[in-house]
Each structure stands twice: as C-alpha cells, then as structure tokens.
C-alpha cells in the first residue's frame, strides 16, 4: 500500500513510543521533518512533549529550498480535513496558544488557549484518568487513558466532537472532526484503550482515501 503514516519529528517528543504504538496496530510509520512529505502523506501524526515554545519553533523552521514550513503544511492538512492525529503538546499546538509561553502563538486551528492546572492538584498530571466521550464521537471512546501534562484546554471546540476528563475540573481530553483527532492523553501509552483509538483513526483515514473526491 502506498499510503503512508508519517510522524513529525519535533525533536522534543517520545517519538519512539509513538512509532512503536503505530506499528502495533499495523501501520508502517516513518519519522520525518520534511514539510513536503508531510503535505503529501496520507496520514500524519504530530506528537509532542517538551515545551510549547520549543515545539512551535521546530514547526517554524524552514529548510532551504522549501516553500512551506511544517507549521504551514499542518495548518493546510487540518483545514482540508486530511487524516491527522495530534498528541499531547501536539494537540495544544493546534489551538491559539498556551499559558506556558504566552508570547508564542499556536497554529490557530481550534479556538482556545491551554492553561496550567491549579495548585490544588499535583502538577504534572502523571497517570491514568477516566475519559468520557460524547455520543457523536466515532474514533474516541470512553475509557481510561494515560496523561503526562501540566497544561490543559477547557474550550468548547465548536465544530468538534469532544471527550472530557476531570482533574482540577473538567478539561478537554480529546476532540475529533472526521479523520482529524487531537488527544491530550497519550494513546500510544494507554494500553488496549489507546490502541483502539489508533486503530479506529487508521481505519477512518483509510476510508477517506478510497472515497472519490
């Protein structure tokens, strides 16, 4: 199959875990930092741990001879509704920004800003928490997912089907729109629950491929 799953190497992520997770559900993923490859790939994963500013800077780097940055091609993909999975910090990058680095803009694809958990809970949130998926979700389901985050999103994400989790109040666990999924938790580290999400995302992406335009 010519269809490719590319994982964007932001240089700050646990990409080995993401690659292994995708292999476990039958994908044949490769790591890339080439914007043209990301533009053309059937399926793209934007992982990310580390700081908001560092990850954004990686996406903005423009290689010589390239007309677009990674940030631009990710924006194009999401606007065009093409199969894309954003994980943890990768999800936060899709929004307007983060309290972590207030001066650094996000990709502006979904309205809202990430804010830090309050001091009433231990930060970072490290561990498993319950995810409650709305009825309209097709790829996301309710279950238990693994989180490793200090910042979270609480916006309404209009136009997206949402899943929520409770920690210092409710926050956005994940959201989906067609074959685009953004998860605050780590599906690649969330056991069978996470593998189910990866499988359904791959299946949704394949469905879109065969659909005539």
Partner 1 sequence: MLMPRVIPCLDVRDGRVVKGVQFQGLRDAGDPVQLAAAYQEQGADELVILDVSATPEGRANAAETVAAVREVLALPLTVGGGVRRAEDAARLLDAGADMVAVNTAAVERPELLSEMAARFGVQCTVLAIDAAARAQQPSSAPGWEVVTHSGVERRALDVIDWAREAARRGAGEVLLTSWDRDGTRSGYDLELLRAVSEAVSLPVIASGGADTAGHMAEALQAGASAVLAASIFHDAHTTVDAVKRALLQLGVRTRPSMESLA
Residues in contact with partner 1 by CB under 8 A are 12, 14-17, 20-21, 23-24, 49-51, 54, 89, 119, 121-130, 143-144, 146-150, 166-167, 186, 188-192, 194-195
Minimum Å distance from CB 74 to partner 1?
Answer: 20
Minimum Å distance from CB 116 to partner 1?
Answer: 11
- For the chain, the farthest-separated pair of C-alpha atoms sits apart, in whole angstroms, at 51
Unique residue bearing structure tokens 């956005």:
172
| E-strand stretches of 106-142 | 113-116, 125-133
Given the complex with partner 1, which of 108 and 191 has the nearer CB atom? Answer: 191
Given the complex with partner 1, which of 147 and 160 has the nearer CB atom? Answer: 147
Give the pair of three-digit tokens for residue 98. 């983060």
Minimum Å distance from CB 12 to partner 1?
Answer: 6
Catalytic residue selected from 88, 137, 175, 183: 88
Catalytic residue selected from 137, 175, 176, 186: 186
Residues 6+ apart with CB under 8 A from 146: 127, 128, 185, 186, 189, 190, 191, 194
Given the complex with partner 1, which of 61 and 67 has the nearer CB atom? Answer: 61
SS3 state at 79: helix
Q: What is the CA radius of gyration of the chain?
A: 16
Minimum Å distance from CB 40 to partner 1?
Answer: 26
Given the complex with partner 1, which of 5 and 190 has the nearer CB atom? Answer: 190
Q: Provide the β-strand partners of residue 144.
A: 130
SS3 state at 200: helix
Cα angle at 67 between 45 and 49, to 5 degrees?
Answer: 30
- 4 is known as an active-site residue: no
Cα angle at 164 between 162 and 170, to 5 degrees?
Answer: 130
Q: Provide the β-strand partners of residue 143.
A: 131
- 183 is known as an active-site residue: no
Given the complex with partner 1, which of 33 and 68 has the nearer CB atom? Answer: 33
- 175 is known as an active-site residue: no
Minimum Å distance from CB 154 to partner 1?
Answer: 16
Residues carrying an active site annotation: 88, 186, 188
């Amino acid at each position: 199959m010519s269809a490719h799953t590319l994982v964007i190497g932001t240089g700050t992520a646990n990409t080995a875990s993401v690659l292994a997770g995708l292999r476990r559900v039958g994908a044949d993923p490769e790591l890339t930092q080439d914007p043209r490859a990301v533009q053309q790939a059937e399926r793209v994963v934007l992982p990310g741990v580390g700081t908001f500013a560092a990850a954004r800077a990686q996406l903005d780097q423009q290689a010589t001879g390239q007309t677009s940055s990674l940030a631009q091609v990710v924006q194009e993909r999401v606007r065009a509704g093409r199969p894309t999975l954003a994980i943890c910090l990768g999800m936060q990058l899709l929004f307007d920004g983060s309290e972590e680095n207030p001066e650094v803009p996000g990709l502006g694809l979904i309205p809202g800003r990430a804010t830090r958990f309050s001091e009433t809970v231990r930060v970072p949130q490290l561990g498993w928490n319950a995810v409650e998926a709305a009825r309209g979700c097709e790829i996301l389901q309710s279950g238990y997912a693994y989180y490793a985050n200090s910042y979270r999103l609480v916006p309404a994400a209009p136009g997206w089907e949402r899943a929520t989790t409770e920690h210092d109040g409710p926050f956005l666990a994940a959201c989906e729109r067609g074959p685009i999924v953004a998860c605050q938790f780590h599906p690649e580290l969330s056991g069978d629950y996470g593998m189910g999400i990866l499988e359904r995302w791959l299946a949704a992406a394949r469905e879109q491929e065969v659909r005539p335009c």
